[in-house]
Chain A
Amino acid sequence: MASVKTTTLPGGIINRPGSTIDYKTGTWRVKRPVVNLDKCIGCLICWIYCPEPAIIKRDDGKIDFDYDYCKGCGICSLECPTKAIRIVEE
């Protein structure tokens, strides 16, 4: 949150579109998802279910995580049909 200004406009107005990108919600995370690429089949069900979205689609069709915004909710792990995603302590 270091990039958030130290002053605010009246009523907390944000006069710049897309500013949520500055808000790194990944700092809220207490557990993180880890993918086993040998098990990942690139079905992207995790990508559909991720509420953030913090699933990154790799060039080889498999997935990675954007830890700047992943809150560690674990939905990806729950929905993964091949159990390729584990949730581990930070």
Chain B
Amino acid sequence: MSTSEAIAYAVKQANVDVIAAYPITPQTIIVERLSEYVHNGELDAEYIAVESEHSAMSACVAASLTGARVFTSTASQGLALMHEVLYLASSLRCPIVMAIANRALSAPINIHCDHSDMMGSRDAGWVQIFAENGQQAYDRIFQAFKLAEDEDILLPVGVNIDGFFLSHAVEGIATISDSEAATFLPPRKAKYYLDYSMPMTFGAFALPDWYFEIKHQVVEAMDRVPKKLAEIEETYYKMTGRKYDHVGVYKTEDAEVCLVCAGSSAATAKFAITRLREKGIKAGLLSIRLFRPFPVESILLHVKDVKALIVMDRAMSPGAPSAPIAQDIKATLYDAGLNIPVANFVYGLGGRDISAAEFESIIMKIVESLKAGRPIEKGVMYWGLRA
């Protein structure tokens, strides 16, 4: 199956009640398959074909408030159009799960992968998970629903897949059975939901006297995510033998240089690191699988003894001192009292591919700087940009 098909299949097995979606490349196949499942009667769900992504997310919020299990999917301009409603979903504590097929933002118009779309909605109060391959994307859908719908969490969850690199890549996917899915993910039991027989107010006006506290609930729920997700990952592991943790860790034990990235690049970087290790270069990899909340504790377990970090961002933040992931890494190190140099590269915008050889060059550049006693370049570097 392609990753898109795997996600649609997982959503079907998760037995969702409502899907409200608007097709956009490279996410289209996910909602196409879901609409087929509903049409064929394989999935008993309400499929709302809306007129825009803004409406899609609005319909999802309303449906979620009735206590339904809700899924949608989008990418790029679609996520940008949803932007204002994303905040409603998190603040109204709607456990919606959304697959985001990460794609560049216009202009110039481009349909290929980068992480600019999700980074633009970084602060909307959504849990954000990156998948490195189709298998992870499939498995994370079940975990995302279980996490989102937990009464201690009640937050929407984004499952990010690199547009085309993952969304259209075909691989063998180990699936779980429908009965395993039903055991792992029983029907949602909402405590508060829209019901004529017990009137409640959702989304009431809040003045300066209460707005802050209600908004802060999202932070409190986010703080509970790492522990809860770890429990869910453990349960899923016992069922399937597959466990992903909050960061993907590869050869970090004795690493002198550690590369940090997110999404499908992790596999390419792993290949590069394997080759460098054969040459005696002590390089390691941390793949950011849970991006929000940022897995501070998990990262600190692996970076204390490295001499330099290389943070690869597939999104830029014009005018900022670092690109998004590097900002978080630097804050993590600073709070832990670690003064480790961070080389920050922005790469692969608009779907520009990055090869294992390029990852090797990047790592060697930093290794050689360390060896020569040269300082690591500060600020943001743009890898592969035409001079």
Contact = CB atoms under 8 A, between A and B. Distances in A.
A10 B200 contact: no
A19 B199 CA distance: 11
Contacts of A13: 192, 200-202
Interface string B188-209: 0000100000111111101001
Chain A, interface size: which category?
10 to 19
Interface in B155-183: none
Contact of A10 (B154, B203, B204, B209): B154
A11 B201 contact: no
B93 interface: yes
Contact of A8 (B199, B200, B213, B221): B213
Contacts of A9: 192
Contact of B93 (A10, A15, A16, A17): A10
B201 A14 contact: yes
Interface string A38-58: 000000000000000000000
Nearest to A19: B201
A21 interface: no
A8 B92 CA distance: 12
A12 B203 CA distance: 7
A17 B199 contact: yes
Contacts of A19: 201
B192 A8 contact: no
Nearest to B191: A10
B147 to A, nearest CB: 15
Contacts of A4: 210
B357 interface: no
B200 A11 contact: no
Chain A at the B interface: SS class? loop
A10 B192 contact: yes
A15 B204 CA distance: 11
A12 B154 contact: no
A86 B212 CA distance: 38
A74 B214 CA distance: 33
A11 B113 CA distance: 34
Contact of B210 (A8, A10, A16, A17): A8
B90 to A, nearest CB: 9
Contact of B217 (A11, A14, A17): A11
A15 B214 contact: no
A15 B217 contact: no
The residue among A9, A10, A15 with the most chain B CB atoms within 10 A of its own CB is A10
Nearest to B220: A10
Given A17-B199, A19-B201, A11 B210 contact: no
A13 B94 CA distance: 12
B57 to A, nearest CB: 16
A10 B65 CA distance: 12
Contact of A12 (B199, B204, B221): B204
B73 interface: no
A15 B190 CA distance: 14
Interface in A1-35: 1, 4, 8-17, 19
B64 to A, nearest CB: 11
A10 B201 contact: no
B202 A10 contact: no
Interface of A: 1, 4, 8-17, 19
Interface of B: 91-93, 154, 192, 198-204, 206, 209-210, 213-214, 217, 221
29 contacts: A4-B210, A8-B213, A8-B214, A8-B217, A9-B192, A10-B154, A10-B221, A11-B91, A11-B92, A11-B154, A11-B203, A11-B214, A11-B217, A12-B91, A12-B206, A12-B210, A12-B214, A13-B192, A13-B200, A13-B201, A13-B202, A14-B201, A14-B204, A15-B192, A15-B200, A16-B200, A17-B199, A17-B200, A19-B201
Given A11-B203, A13-B200, A14-B201, 20 more contacts: A1-B209, A8-B214, A8-B217, A9-B192, A10-B93, A10-B217, A10-B221, A11-B91, A11-B92, A11-B154, A11-B202, A12-B204, A12-B210, A12-B214, A14-B200, A15-B192, A15-B198, A15-B200, A16-B200, A17-B200
**Which 3 pairs show the lowest CB-CB distances between chains A and B?**
A14-B201, A11-B93, A12-B214
